[in-house]
Amino acid sequence: METKKVLNRNNEPSDELHEFVYKTHKGLKLQYEEVYYLDYDVDENTGIIDQTKSVKHYTKNQMERNIKALKNAYFIAKGAAAPSEIIKFRNRYDIPASTFSIVLGFSKNTISNIENDGITSLPTGRLIKMCLDNKEIVINYLKMCDEIDKVKKTEISRRLESCY
């Protein structure tokens, strides 16, 4: 994968860097990947640039991504399903994201959005986690789902039940 580039103070491309951050918040251990770039240190009072010292800097986009990653880590620590867990479950049972969304009662793109962008709310993440931990819930929701045809329901049920 190609490393993203960010322009520094000298208008030179600088690599976007990644680092795992470990924090504790209200007794919860959080882990997430932070993105940043290195640039020269600037004295906030004088505006003088120290070209001998590089420090972390963040673009607006990087800040937004870091906040989203921290929020996602918090939800996971509070019992929500991690996007990687959802992907693993769907791949194991060969269930498309749109189908899984509909089975759980969400709009068609919800699971795909969560897998790409992270958990959007704690209740949603917890519901998904309960379903991943107990396939019987998914099987029951599948039986009650009106938007999926009978053939597809049977195929998915068979895959879910065969791996008990």
Which residue carries 């003088």 as its tokens? Answer: 48
62 within 8 A of 16, measured Cβ to Cβ? yes
The domain spans of the chain are 5-77, 83-162
pLDDT per residue of the chain (164 residues) written in tens, 0 to 9: 567 888 877 788 888 899 999 999 999 999 999 999 999 999 999 989 998 999 999 999 999 999 999 999 999 999 999 999 999 999 999 999 999 999 999 999 999 999 999 988 999 999 999 999 999 999 999 999 999 999 999 999 999 988 65
**Phi-psi map region of 26: left, alpha, beta (phi>0 left; psi -120 to 50 alpha):** left
35 within 8 A of 59, measured Cβ to Cβ? no
Q: Within 13 Å and on the Cβ side, how many CA atoms surround 46?
A: 6
Backbone angles phi, psi at 57, to 5 degrees: -135, 160
Report pTM. Answer: 0.83
